[in-house]
Chains A and B, each alone.
Chain A
Amino acid sequence: DAKTTQPPSMDCAEGRAANLPCNHSTISGNEYVYWYRQIHSQGPQYIIHGLKNNETNEMASLIITEDRKSSTLILPHATLRDTAVYYCIVSGNYGGSQGNLIFGKGTKLSVKP
């Protein structure tokens, strides 16, 4: 069973921020939120992860609500190369390696010029 719910598709104008939502209302206390993306016909690429606090790296920001039931991935200045399927995944962190990741269908983000 999928642990996350994402919209199937979104559009974003080039140069604008892309805000991708994810609902994970059944998340448990020791589970992390991970985001990956998959550009067409390639392997997925890790973007960011978080537990409770908001996180930022060179690729994106992750905003997690206080009740941890939802989160938003923010690409601050989307480019055409950000067009991809974005997966939001909830998983435990077992012994330093990730637990099994359950990839749903994700959100297909289309960045338009």
Chain B
Amino acid sequence: DGGITQSPKYLFRKEGQNVTLSCEQNLNHDAMYWYRQDPGQGLRLIYYSQIVNDFQKGDIAEGYSVSREKKESFPLTVTSAQKNPTAFYLCASGHYNEQFFGPGTRLTVL
């Protein structure tokens, strides 16, 4: 099956802990993206990467970090510096005029 996988689906962490969200794609896409969605809101771009070993900040990058060591993988770390990390996190990969989204990870910080 081709597509994008995100794990886990639900994640609970204590305040002050860093947490890493996984995103893997086997679509051979160069571009990958991370978005955050809060209840009743649209998606906001956190980070994106157009090619391996390169990535750019999106609109709300503060408190987040990423790496792109492999074409297939684009993990997102939510650090303790992120003031309000509880949200729905979506990963996507891009090919020409389409972005393909994963199922998302719902992070709750207690």
Partner of A105 from the list B30, B31, B42, B104 (CB cut-off 8 Å) is B42
Partner of B42 from the list A43, A46, A87 (CB cut-off 8 Å) is A87
Partner of A97 from the list B30, B40, B102 (CB cut-off 8 Å) is B30
Task: Report the bound CA distance from A42 to B48 in whole Å.
Answer: 20
CB pair A46 B102 closer than 8 Å: no
Q: List 16 A-B contacts (CB under 8 A).
A: A32-B97, A34-B97, A41-B88, A43-B90, A44-B101, A93-B97, A96-B96, A97-B50, A97-B94, A98-B99, A100-B45, A103-B35, A103-B42, A103-B43, A105-B42, A106-B42
Contact residue range for chain A? 20 to 34
Taking CB as reference atom, which chain A residue is nearest B95? A97
Give the B-binding residues of A (Cβ under 8 A). 32, 34, 36, 41-46, 49, 87, 93, 95-98, 100-106
Partner of A98 from the list B41, B90, B97, B104 (CB cut-off 8 Å) is B97
Contact residue range for chain B? 20 to 34
Task: Report the bound CA distance from A106 to B92 in whole Å.
Answer: 19
Partner of B31 from the list A49, A87, A98, A103 (CB cut-off 8 Å) is A98
In angstroms, how far is the closest chain B Cβ from the Cβ of A76? 21
CB pair A100 B48 closer than 8 Å: yes
Does B75 sit within 8 A of A, measured CB to CB?
no
Taking CB as reference atom, which chain B residue is nearest A50? B97
Task: Report the bound CA distance from A55 to B53 in whole Å.
Answer: 36
Which of chain B's residues have a CB closer than 8 A to the CB of A106?
A: 42
Task: Report the bound CA distance from A42 to B101 in whole Å.
Answer: 9
